């Protein structure tokens, strides 16, 4: 990549990014190692821009790639610029970035909204204030902060124009050819209209390769997220009874998340009773559960950026009917036999085939179908996906490798009977096999029924208030 020099006014300082005052489960140098790893994967003389654009405006989650590389947990506007480790060019003394960024070990620029105390009057201070003290254990999170985020857009525009090699960027795309272009698409078009020659590639194409293999620190966080999720599921089982609204069970689950330090659910909590148990992503949670219903609980606590993902199906009355048990046992067999196969080197195609085979045999045995080729009519979805910073995380899990964390979630749905069964676990692939990190929440018929009959669940009568206008 040929980089041409241009002038830009920046605030030059080196500071550590303290992401939170609460204890962190990931080691301080974790983020530095990740930045270096992605720089090593980049094409020679390339540049990558990762912007902190919230995934969901309602929850204000940080961009997962940005969090993965910086540890910055808030959603304030920021941008990270990475330069490839492999460089064939040397910048001129008047290059737009410090020479140390190109030639030294950093190769990283961070643009962030600086604290008010570090923003003197005017566009830029004549002499920047000294960086705040940095404890040694925070050094791994340090990055070269060269300016305020307000200055980034101008620099970004010029980088698009002047980069002649590979430019890694994830950008917002319009949904169809007839839809208006997004701001990003307009900017890229303007750059190309002005003879920009960069080769554009998605940043996620590289970051997905790293994110799919979890570090020891990430695994610890994911295990904690799974334990919190499991606790929410167990409490919902204890409290469940006919007459409860789906949103009341949701409130129990999310209350357990909060008191355990999970700031929010990793995705919209699904509580589907009766006919809603057959709706895959039901999250309205408005129906009142009736005696005899099954209830699908598809839940996940987000803990320090990472999310668990557990599904259990329970009988609202505390005991499965024979029909419900027969269908449930088929799904449980598919879940357990698939997990027994999961280890390094195994193809997920083989695991998925086992799931479909078990489900198909079961449906034929019950007389629901005559030909296993019709299984898809009642299974509706794939049985696995990676989890991590997103509930459906990035990266290929086609062949299992140590450090991957994936779900196993077979399901059968019989809408005519208002009977949907889904059982989902989170599975860590180890060096020798796998570990089910969601094993602490019951999933056998006997264990679920025993927990539901044990009592001790939240009693809503303590919280319910009298409706206005009633006697």
**Nearest-angstrom CA–CA distance, 384 and 407:** 5
Using alpha carbons, list the distances in angstroms from residue 31 to 61, 116, 142, 238.
18, 26, 9, 40
Residue 110 pairs in a beta bridge with 80, 145
Among the CATH numbers 3.40.50.300, 2.30.40.10, 3.40.190.10, 3.40.350.10, which is that of 13-211? 3.40.350.10
- Closest CA relative to residue 329, chosen from 414, 423, 442: 423
**Nearest-angstrom CA–CA distance, 219 and 236:** 26
Task: Specify the DSSP element, H or E, that contains 187.
Answer: helix 183-193
**Nearest-angstrom CA–CA distance, 405 and 408:** 10
Asked if 272 and 261 touch (Cβ cutoff 8 Å), the reply is no
* pLDDT at residue 38, rounded to an integer: 94
Among the CATH numbers 3.40.50.1820, 3.40.80.10, 3.50.50.60, 3.90.230.10, which is that of 216-462? 3.90.230.10
User: So where are the chain's domains?
Assistant: 13-211, 216-462
* pLDDT at residue 314, rounded to an integer: 98
**Nearest-angstrom CA–CA distance, 312 and 328:** 10
Asked if 411 and 381 touch (Cβ cutoff 8 Å), the reply is yes
**Residue 45 exposure: Cα atoms within 13 Å on the Cβ side:** 15
Per-residue tokens: 443:
């999933």
Per-residue tokens: 179:
């839809």
**pLDDT in tens for each of the 471 residues of the chain?**
333 332 222 222 222 232 333 456 687 789 989 999 999 999 988 899 999 976 555 667 889 999 999 888 888 888 998 988 886 655 555 555 555 554 445 577 787 776 554 444 444 443 344 444 333 333 344 456 667 888 888 888 888 887 888 999 998 888 888 889 988 888 889 888 988 888 999 999 999 999 999 999 999 999 999 999 999 999 999 999 999 999 999 999 999 999 999 989 999 999 999 999 999 999 999 999 999 999 999 999 999 999 999 999 999 999 999 999 999 999 999 999 999 999 999 999 999 999 999 999 999 999 999 999 999 999 999 999 999 999 999 999 999 999 999 999 999 999 999 999 999 999 999 999 999 999 999 999 999 999 999 987 777 677 788 888 766
Same CATH fold assignment for domains 13-211 and 216-462: no
* pLDDT at residue 126, rounded to an integer: 39
Q: What is the end-to-end Cα distance of the chain in Å, rounded?
A: 77
* pLDDT at residue 106, rounded to an integer: 59
Number of helices (H) and strands (E) in the chain: give both, helices first. 12, 18
| Location of structure tokens 């990003």 | 184
């Amino acid at each position: 990549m040929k980089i041409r020099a241009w002038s830009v006014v920046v605030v030059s300082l080196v500071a550590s990014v303290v992401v939170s005052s609460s204890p962190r489960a990931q080691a301080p140098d974790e983020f530095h190692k990740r930045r270096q790893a992605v720089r090593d994967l980049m094409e020679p003389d390339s540049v990558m821009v990762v912007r902190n654009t919230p995934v969901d405006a309602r929850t204000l989650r940080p961009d997962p790639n940005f969090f993965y590389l910086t540890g910055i947990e808030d959603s304030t506007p920021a941008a990270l610029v990475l330069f490839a480790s492999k460089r064939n060019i040397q910048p001129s003394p008047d290059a737009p970035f410090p020479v140390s960024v190109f030639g030294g070990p950093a190769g990283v620029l961070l643009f962030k909204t600086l604290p008010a105390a570090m923003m003197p009057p005017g566009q830029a201070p004549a002499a920047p204030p000294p960086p705040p003290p940095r404890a040694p254990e925070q050094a791994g999170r340090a990055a070269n902060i060269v300016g305020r985020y307000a200055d980034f857009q101008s620099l970004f525009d010029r980088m698009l124009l002047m980069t002649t090699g590979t430019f890694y960027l994830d950008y917002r795309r319009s949904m169809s050819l007839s839809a208006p272009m997004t701001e990003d698409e307009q900017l890229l078009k303007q750059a190309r209209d002005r003879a920009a020659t960069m080769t554009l590639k998605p940043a996620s194409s590289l970051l997905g390769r790293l994110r799919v293999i979890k570090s020891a620190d990430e695994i610890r966080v994911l295990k904690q997220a799974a334990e919190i999720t499991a606790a929410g599921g167990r409490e919902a089982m204890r409290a469940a009874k006919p007459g409860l609204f789906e949103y009341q069970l949701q409130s129990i689950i999310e209350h357990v998340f909060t008191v355990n330090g999970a700031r929010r659910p990793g995705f919209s909590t699904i509580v589907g009773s009766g006919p809603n148990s057959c709706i895959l992503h039901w999250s309205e949670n408005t129906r009142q559960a009736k005696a005899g219903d099954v209830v699908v609980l598809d839940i996940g606590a987000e803990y320090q950026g990472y999310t668990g993902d557990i599904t259990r199906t329970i009988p609202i009355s505390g005991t499965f009917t024979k029909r419900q048990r027969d269908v449930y046992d088929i799904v449980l067999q598919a879940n357990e036999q698939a997990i027994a196969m999961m280890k390094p080197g195994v193809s997920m195609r083989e695991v998925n085939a086992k799931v479909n085979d078990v489900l198909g045999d079961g449906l034929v045995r019950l007389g629901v179908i005559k030909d296993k080729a019709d299984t898809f009519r009642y299974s509706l979805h794939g049985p696995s996906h990676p989890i991590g910073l997103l509930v459906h995380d990035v990266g290929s899990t086609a062949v299992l490798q140590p450090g991957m964390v994936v779900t196993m979630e077979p399901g059968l749905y019989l809408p005519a009977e208002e009977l949907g069964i889904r059982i989902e676990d989170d599975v860590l692939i180890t060096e020798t096999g796998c570990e089910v990190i969601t094993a602490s929440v019951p999933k056998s018929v006997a264990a679920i029924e025993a927990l539901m009959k044990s009592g001790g669940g939240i009693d809503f009568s303590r919280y319910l208030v009298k409706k206005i206008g009633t006697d």
